[in-house]
């Protein structure tokens, strides 16, 4: 298997993060964990955006992944991190495969608003469901990984480890996919659906596939977040959450799989510091950041690196 520069960088960064874990302060590890979870979700958003679609409702799969993980932990009494993430990925994959049958027919604002509608339906169901904790949600406590019990510091490192490995593995696989013949169809569809059909490929099947992949990534991100935070609630599928993912995706750009991860880290860092130093106006700081990026870097933060390449 021949590795490109991005794939090699993913492997190097993964090893570096895992090796640095013992030296990381708690706040840095926490910041990285949340950023990587968000980054995984936005990787999926990036695939959709490359295909020319924006989802305003990816909170649906983020939340569904978290609740599937929570269900394995609390209802089935299997508090294993690996199984919880697997459940999150499987549940979102199945739901996306079904909803994708309808959504793959729509484009532009119709796709965006229909995806938002589905996320709000889940929100409505969850807040009415007392068995799942209604508006309060419920706590979860992942106590093992691959059957090996983890407590105290080991739990902290295991959580960090699984978050780093799965996020980077997602990025690695998505990068491979985007460089494949099927992956190249994403930009072809965004540019000219008619030509794609007249070259013998199915636009709808490809969009459906990309929708499922992006949902599974959001599900993994949601399950990882549930494991990291230890609590899940319906706010995870409420519209501001989906808006945050769109925000990060625009902030990041779609030029490379590192963009969503880096963008999520920048977003979380700005939000953390803004909340710390300007608790009443932190949203304004984020808004101004977005404004600056949209005016000066319409291709997102990743375009800063692309600009440095020789023409």
Partner 1 sequence: MATILHAKGLNKSFGAVTAANDINVAVEQDSVVGLIGSNGAGKTTFINMVTGYLKPTTGSIHFEGRDITSLKPRQITQLGICRSFQIPQLYNTMTVAENLMVGVGIVASSGARWAKSNRLDVAPEQAVEAMLEQFGLGDYRNRQSGLLPEGTRKLLDIAMAMVVRPRILLLDEPTSGVSADEKFVLMDRVMAAVREGKVTVLFVEHDMEVVERYTHRILAFYEGRIIADGEPAKVLDDVEVRKYVIGEAH
Q: Which residues bind partner 1 (CB under 8 A)?
A: 180-182, 184-185, 187-188, 190-192, 194-202
Which residue, among 9, 57, 2, 50, has the nearest Cα to 186 in the 3D structure?
A: 50
- 290: Cα separation from own chain's centroid: 19
What's the rounded Cα separation, in Å, for the pair 80 and 69?
9
Nearer to partner 1, 25 or 200 (CB): 200
Contact yes or no for 118/99 (Cβ under 8 A) = yes
The residue whose two tokens read 């599974």 is 216
Q: How far is the CB of 196 from partner 1 (least distance, A)?
A: 8
Output the furthest CA–CA distance in the chain (Å, rounded): 59
Nearer to partner 1, 169 or 196 (CB): 196
Q: Which helix (H) or strand (E) holds 232?
A: strand 231-232
Nearer to partner 1, 199 or 284 (CB): 199
* DSSP reduced 3-state for 106: coil
Q: How far is the CB of 203 from partner 1 (least distance, A)?
A: 8
Q: How far is the CB of 202 from partner 1 (least distance, A)?
A: 6
The residue whose two tokens read 């099947």 is 205
Nearer to partner 1, 198 or 296 (CB): 198
Q: Which helix (H) or strand (E) holds 226?
A: helix 203-229
Nearer to partner 1, 126 or 203 (CB): 203
Q: How far is the CB of 49 from partner 1 (least distance, A)?
A: 13
Q: How far is the CB of 189 from partner 1 (least distance, A)?
A: 9
């Amino acid at each position: 298997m021949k590795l490109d520069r991005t794939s090699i960088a993913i492997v190097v960064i993964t090893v570096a993060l895992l090796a640095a874990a013992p030296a990381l302060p708690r706040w840095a590890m926490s910041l990285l964990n949340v950023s990587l979870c968000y980054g995984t979700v936005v990787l999926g958003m990036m695939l959709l955006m490359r295909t020319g679609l924006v989802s305003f409702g990816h909170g649906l799969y983020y939340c569904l992944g978290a609740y599937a993980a929570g269900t394995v932990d609390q209802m089935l009494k299997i508090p294993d991190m690996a199984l919880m993430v697997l459940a999150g990925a499987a549940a979102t994959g199945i739901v996306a495969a079904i909803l994708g049958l309808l959504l793959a027919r729509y484009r532009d604002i119709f796709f965006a608003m229909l995806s938002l509608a589905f996320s709000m339906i889940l929100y409505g169901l969850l807040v009415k469901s007392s068995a799942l904790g209604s508006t309060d949600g419920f706590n979860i406590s992942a106590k093992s990984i691959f059957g090996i019990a983890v407590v105290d510091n080991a739990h902290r490192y295991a959580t960090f480890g699984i978050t780093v490995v799965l996020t980077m593995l997602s990025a690695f696989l998505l990068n491979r996919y985007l460089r494949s013949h099927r992956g190249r169809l994403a930009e072809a569809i965004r540019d000219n659906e008619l030509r794609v059909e007249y070259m013998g490929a199915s636009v709808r099947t490809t969009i459906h596939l990309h929708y499922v992949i992006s949902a599974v990534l959001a599900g993994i991100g949601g399950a990882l977040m549930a494991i990291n935070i230890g609590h899940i609630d319906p706010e995870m599928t409420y519209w501001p959450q989906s808006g945050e993912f769109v925000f990060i995706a625009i902030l990041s750009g779609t030029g490379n799989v590192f963009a969503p991860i880096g963008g999520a880290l920048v977003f979380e860092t700005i939000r953390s510091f803004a909340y710390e130093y300007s608790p009443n106006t932190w949203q304004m700081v984020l808004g101004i950041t977005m404004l600056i990026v949209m005016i000066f870097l319409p291709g997102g933060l990743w375009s800063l690196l692309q600009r440095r390449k020789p023409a």
